[in-house]
C-alpha cells in the first residue's frame, strides 16, 4: 500500500497493515451514494403513511400485499438502475491488500458483488430472489428491468408458479430469522477478525448489530464510518465521520 491515506489516523493505517483477518460490515449508507435510498429514508408517496419497520413485516404483507410488493418493486427498480460507488469499489480492492477479508452486508442490493466482492454474506436476503410465501419455491423476477414503478404504486404480487400462492420478496422481515448459513459465517468472521469496519449502518437492527460487539469482545479493533452518530460511536476505537465513498478510498489508498 502506498502512503496516501489522507486524514486517516496513523493508528488505523498501522492496524490495517498488521491485520490478518478483516471484516467489512455494511448497511444502507454504503449504497446511498449510488442513489439507493437508505432504509429509513425509503418511504415516499403512498408508503409515507407507514414506517419502514412496519412495512417490512409478514403482517404487513398479509394485510396489504399490493402495497408491500409495490414498495419492494420500487426498491428493486432503483437497485437495478444503480451502479456501485467508490465505497463498494474500495471494499472490493481491500480484499487484495489483506490476507483474509469477509464482507457482511445488511443490504438487499447486489452492489458489492457488482463491484467485484465475492463470498458476501447477505444477512437480510436480496431484492432479486423472490420466493413463494407458502411453498418457498424460488421465483423469477417479473421483469429484468422494470420501468421505475411510480412512488407509492400498488402492485399485486404475482402467483407462485408451483402452488399459486402470492410471491414474496426474498428478504428477511422483522420477526423472521436470518439465513442460518450467512449468519453463522458472519458470526465466525466477526469473532475471529483483528479489524472490523462498520460502514453506513445505523447499528439498530439485531442480531446484525451484534457483530461489532462480538468483534470488540474478541479483542478486535472496530472502526466506524458514518456521517452521523450511532450507538456504536461510544464503543468503536475509531469513528470516521464522513461519507463512505469519500472515506473508504482513502483507507484503502
Active site residues: 124
Q: Which of 138, 163, 206, 235 binds ligand BV8 (CB under 6 A)?
A: 206
Closest to 157 (Cα-Cα) out of 244, 82, 62: 62
**Rule CB under 6 A: is residue 67 a binding residue for ligand BV8?**
no
Among 13-21, 132-140, 185-193, 199-207, the segment contacting ligand BV8 (CB under 6 A): 199-207
Half-sphere exposure at residue 135, Cβ-oriented, CA atoms within 13 angstroms: 10
Which of 20, 23, 50 lies closest to 208, judged by CA? 23
**Residue list 82-111, contact with ligand BV8 (CB under 6 A):** 106, 108
Residue 132 engages Zn ion in binding (rule: CB under 5 A): yes
Q: Which of ligand BV8, Zn ion, none is residue 40 near (CB under 5 to 8 Å by kind)? A: ligand BV8
Residues 6+ apart with CB under 8 A from 70: 46, 149, 152, 153, 154, 155
Contact residues for 223 (Cβ-Cβ < 8 A; gap 6+): 12, 15, 195, 196, 197, 198, 236, 237, 238, 239, 240
> Should residue 159 be labelled a site residue for Zn ion when binding is judged by CB under 5 A?
no
Residues 39, 74, 183, 197: which binds ligand BV8 (CB under 6 A)?
39
Task: Tell the smallest beta-carbon distance from residue 75 to Zn ion (Å).
Answer: 23
Q: Where are the beta strands (DSSP E) in 56-175?
A: 100-105, 121-122, 125-132, 167-171
By CB under 6 A, residue 33 contacts ligand BV8: yes
Residues that bind Zn ion (CB under 5 A): 132, 134-135, 137, 160, 162-163, 165
Residues that bind ligand BV8 (CB under 6 A): 27-29, 32-33, 38-40, 56, 106, 108, 124, 171-177, 200-202, 204-207, 226-228, 230, 243-244
Amino acid at each position: 500500500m502506498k502512503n496516501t491515506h489522507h486524514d486517516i489516523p496513523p493508528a488505523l493505517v498501522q492496524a490495517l497493515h498488521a491485520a490478518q483477518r478483516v471484516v467489512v460490515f455494511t448497511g444502507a449508507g454504503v449504497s446511498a451514494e449510488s442513489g439507493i435510498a437508505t432504509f429509513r429514508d425509503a418511504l415516499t408517496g403512498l408508503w409515507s403513511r407507514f414506517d419502514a419497520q412496519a412495512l417490512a413485516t409478514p403482517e404487513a404483507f398479509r394485510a396489504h400485499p399490493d402495497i408491500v410488493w409495490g414498495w419492494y418493486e420500487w426498491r428493486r427498480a432503483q437497485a437495478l438502475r444503480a451502479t456501485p460507488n467508490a465505497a463498494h469499489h474500495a471494499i472490493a480492492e481491500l480484499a487484495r491488500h489483506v490476507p483474509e477479508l469477509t464482507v457482511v452486508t445488511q443490504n438487499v442490493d447486489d452492489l458489492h458483488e457488482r463491484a467485484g466482492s465475492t463470498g458476501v454474506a447477505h444477512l437480510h436476503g436480496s431484492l432479486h430472489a423472490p420466493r413463494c410465501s407458502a411453498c418457498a419455491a424460488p421465483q423469477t423476477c417479473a421483469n429484468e428491468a422494470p420501468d421505475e414503478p411510480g412512488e407509492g404504486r400498488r402492485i399485486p404480487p404475482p402467483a407462485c408458479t408451483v402452488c399459486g400462492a402470492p410471491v414474496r420478496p426474498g428478504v428477511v422481515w422483522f420477526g423472521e430469522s436470518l439465513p442460518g448459513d450467512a449468519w453463522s459465517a458472519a458470526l465466525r468472521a466477526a469473532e475471529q477478525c483483528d479489524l472490523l469496519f462498520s460502514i453506513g449502518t445505523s447499528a439498530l437492527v439485531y442480531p446484525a448489530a451484534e457483530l461489532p460487539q462480538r468483534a470488540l469482545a474478541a479483542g478486535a479493533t472496530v472502526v466506524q464510518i458514518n456521517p452521523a452518530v450511532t450507538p456504536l460511536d461510544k464503543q468503536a476505537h475509531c469513528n470516521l465521520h464522513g461519507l463512505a465513498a469519500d472515506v473508504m478510498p482513502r483507507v484503502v489508498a
